[in-house]
Amino acid sequence: MLYNVLIVERNRLYLEKMAAVIQSLPGFELAARFQEPLEALGQGKVFKPNLILLDIDMDDASSLVKDFTEEFPKASIVCTGEKWQGDSASHFVKAGARGYLIKPFTANEFKSAIESFAKSGMESASQVLTFFSPKGKSGKTTLVASLALALARTTGEQVGVIDADLQFCDMGLFFNLDPASTIVEAVRDINFLSPISLASYFCEVEPNLRVLCGTRNPSLIDRVDIPSFEALIKMSRSLFRYVLIDVPSGFCPTSIAAAEMSDTTYLMTMLSGTYELQHLSRAREMFQDWEDIDERLKVVITRVSPCSEKERQRLSNDLGYSVEAIIPNEYKLVSEAANAGRIALDVGGASLFSLAVGRLAESISLHHHWEAP
């Protein structure tokens, strides 16, 4: 595709730098450049741009994005700013923006950004999913890893995993990753990043799946402060269609922050005794202040046998609230896969575990109720 680019930038130095980048890239042509937005709105149509770089370092940025979207309905609007504006990003999306770039940028950064925006755009349709358990040994990390793979493969969308289980982070082990950067470096640098530069902190597992690994050792957990962690989640929305967050077991600042910022929190436990279900119900009570608890909080129970719709209904009736999904007891399959450095989803393609994970992925992507096999 040939991009016919119109630049709107009030700072002349940035304007010249961006123009030089556009002119250096094959597949991109510089249609026109303006310092004043009103001039671009009045004169820009004659150049027939299909990509507009719009300076949003101004007070009327959101209204300008809307004006340009209406005036150039066939063009993609990419916001450019000196700093990532996480709190304003949703306003730019609602106004019609397709992406956000920190200026100045190199030719490689620009090309990578446009390719990314062509796949996913910004955060307008993203879903943040947090996976929480009141106690350990719930199968939480196994489910997150397998579900992320299933979502990436079945939807073809961009999926990101954030390993925020800061003391016992195993996501890197699940995917055999040796990260150059972890969540520690990401939160440290977050105020200087944009979505595109943040992407380099995630390790690529497959073309549609990336993982931000957890701390290299438990002593580093204090370096992940909550405000920066929340900013990380916000920015990740602009990178991925689905963001899956694995948080520590039990209530702590990290797990609470992730749950509060998520569209859906999956409350998990392993069915190994009556007391586990009691812990599940006690944990659910902690979320009672959510007015939309039935929509935002979903219950998943693992190691269920028999794994059937009848058993899911029985568990729902016994608990007094809906169980969204049940995962079968396939401990041997999961253990053998982990010991071999593989994901259970890849080892047992036709197993009950894989089928259950696939149905949960389908439920998330299609927004309908999960049904057990």
* Same domain membership, residue 147 and residue 21: no
* Same domain membership, residue 219 and residue 161: yes
Q: Return the minimum-mean-pLDDT range out of 22-36, 101-115, 245-259.
A: 101-115
Q: How far apart are CA 28 and CA 30, in angstroms?
A: 7
* DSSP one-letter string for 238-258: TT-SEEEEE--SSS-HHHHHH
* Same domain membership, residue 188 and residue 62: no
* Same domain membership, residue 79 and residue 145: no
Compute the mean pLDDT over every residue in the chain, rounded to the nearest whole number. Answer: 87
Q: What is the mean pLDDT of residues 346-351?
A: 65
Contact 69, 47 (CB under 8 A): no
pLDDT at 351: 81
Is residue 15 one of the residues assigned to a domain? yes
Number of domains in the chain: 2
With 90 as the cut, is the pLDDT of residue 211 above it? yes
* Same domain membership, residue 301 and residue 164: yes
* Same domain membership, residue 220 and residue 181: yes
* Same domain membership, residue 185 and residue 316: yes
With 60 as the cut, is the pLDDT of residue 372 above it? no
Contact 99, 239 (CB under 8 A): no
CA dist 94 to 77, 169, 184, 264, 274, Å?
A: 12, 35, 31, 21, 47
* Same domain membership, residue 100 and residue 7: yes
Is residue 152 one of the residues assigned to a domain? yes
With 50 as the cut, is the pLDDT of residue 152 above it? yes
CATH of the domain at 99: 3.40.50.2300
* Same domain membership, residue 102 and residue 187: no
CA dist 190 to 20, 29, 79, 134, 177, Å?
A: 28, 32, 19, 29, 22
Q: What is the mean pLDDT of residues 143-169?
A: 91
Q: What is the mean pLDDT of residues 139-157?
A: 91
Is residue 294 one of the residues assigned to a domain? yes
Q: Decide which of 97, 124, 151 is a domain's last residue.
A: 124
341 is written with which tokens?
């450095």
* Same domain membership, residue 193 and residue 60: no
* Same domain membership, residue 327 and residue 275: yes
* Same domain membership, residue 282 and residue 138: yes
Is residue 274 one of the residues assigned to a domain? yes
Q: Return the minimum-mean-pLDDT range out of 101-105, 166-170, 266-270, 357-361.
A: 166-170
Give the residue carrying structure tokens 């980048």: 21
Give the residue numbers spanning the domain of 54: 3-124
Q: Decide which of 106, 124, 142 is a domain's last residue.
A: 124
Q: What is the mean pLDDT of residues 340-346?
A: 61
**Omega prior to 104 cis, within 30 of 0:** yes
> What is the number of helices (H) and of strands (E) in the chain?
17, 13
Give the residue carrying structure tokens 């390993």: 163
Burial (CB count <10 Å: 0-12, 13-18, 19+), residue 49: buried
3-class SS string, 62-110: HHHHHHHHHHCCCCEEEEEECCCCHHHHHHHHHHCEEEEEECCCCHHHH
